[in-house]
Amino acid sequence: MSLPKAFLFDMDGTLCNTEPLHMAAYQTLLQENGRVVDQETFDHQFAGQTTSAVIAHLFPHMSDDMRKDLVALKEARFRETVGRLAPLPGLLEYLDAIAASSATLALVTNAPRADVDCVLAVLGIQTRFSVVIIASELAHPKPHPLPYLRALYEAGVTAKEAVVFEDSIAGLRSARSAGVQTVGVRTTLDAQQLLGSGAWLTIADYHDPALVREGLWPTQTERSGGVAQHISPEY
């Protein structure tokens, strides 16, 4: 396949493995309010959704104001722990290669803006994305297709000219509903679960040979106009 004109990335679980930190913040909140949710349930029902949506599902009988307070508390606790985050293996090199090819880099996330700013700063990639879509600020977040449709519009590309990287069922549904071919990152779900949710391809991280095999790693030609040769990570 020809190199996509735009690479659209989710954040949590796709750029870095934030899910254990989110889960810890949720578990503390749940314990304080007499609730328990196991990891498997969280991964299948809640991963990739907005915090507001998760809290509304877990605490349906609370008032809106009480749920807003819980959302703020959960996010504050999460941000207290992000200093331990690191990019997924190969991510920085991959972003460099994409940028050198002149393809557009976009971030499309359900995370609140404060979390996005914090996580990107910790990873040192706060200036890497020319398009940033905060889905929670739109009329419909993921799994609705609107976040990815908006990203395509801002990137100036069609769905067939882009590829999405996602790790959650909600994110995969959003991207697929927008008509974009999607790569599933195996941080939260396994390959079978990702493929069953609409992923075209799955990778362990950004050193995965599948990126080269499927034409998703820019060649030297695409990066600098030289002889066609893949410049890929050492495996």
| CATH number given to 19-83 | 1.10.150
Which residues lie across from 230 on neighbouring strands?
219
Whether the predicted pLDDT of 19 surpasses 90: no
Which residues, including other chains, have CB under 8 Å from residue 201's CB and lie 6 or more apart?
183, 184, 210, 214
How does pLDDT run across 164-184, given as a tens digit for each residue? 999 999 999 999 999 999 999
d(CA 161, CA 181): 9
Helices (H) and strands (E) in the chain, counts: 11, 6
Residue-range domain boundaries for the chain: 6-17+86-224, 19-83
| CATH number given to 6-17+86-224 | 3.40.50.1000
Residues assigned a catalytic role: 10, 12
d(CA 222, CA 209): 18
The amino acid present at 146, given as its one-letter code, is L
Q: Matching CATH topology for 6-17+86-224 and 19-83?
A: no
Query: What pLDDT score was predicted for residue 221?
Result: 80
| Confidence bin at 233 (pLDDT 50/70/90) | low
| DSSP summary character for residue 3 | P
DSSP string, 185-218: ETTSS-HHHHHHTT-SEEESSTT-THHHHTT-S-
Question: How many percent of the chain have pLDDT more than 70?
Answer: 94
How does pLDDT run across 105-155, given as a tens digit for each residue? 999 999 999 999 999 999 999 999 999 999 989 999 999 999 999 999 999
Whether the predicted pLDDT of 228 surpasses 50: no
Decide: 158 and 8 in contact? Cβ < 8 Å.
Answer: no
Which residues, including other chains, have CB under 8 Å from residue 137's CB and lie 6 or more apart?
113
How does pLDDT run across 77-104, given as a tens digit for each residue? 888 888 989 999 999 999 999 999 999 9
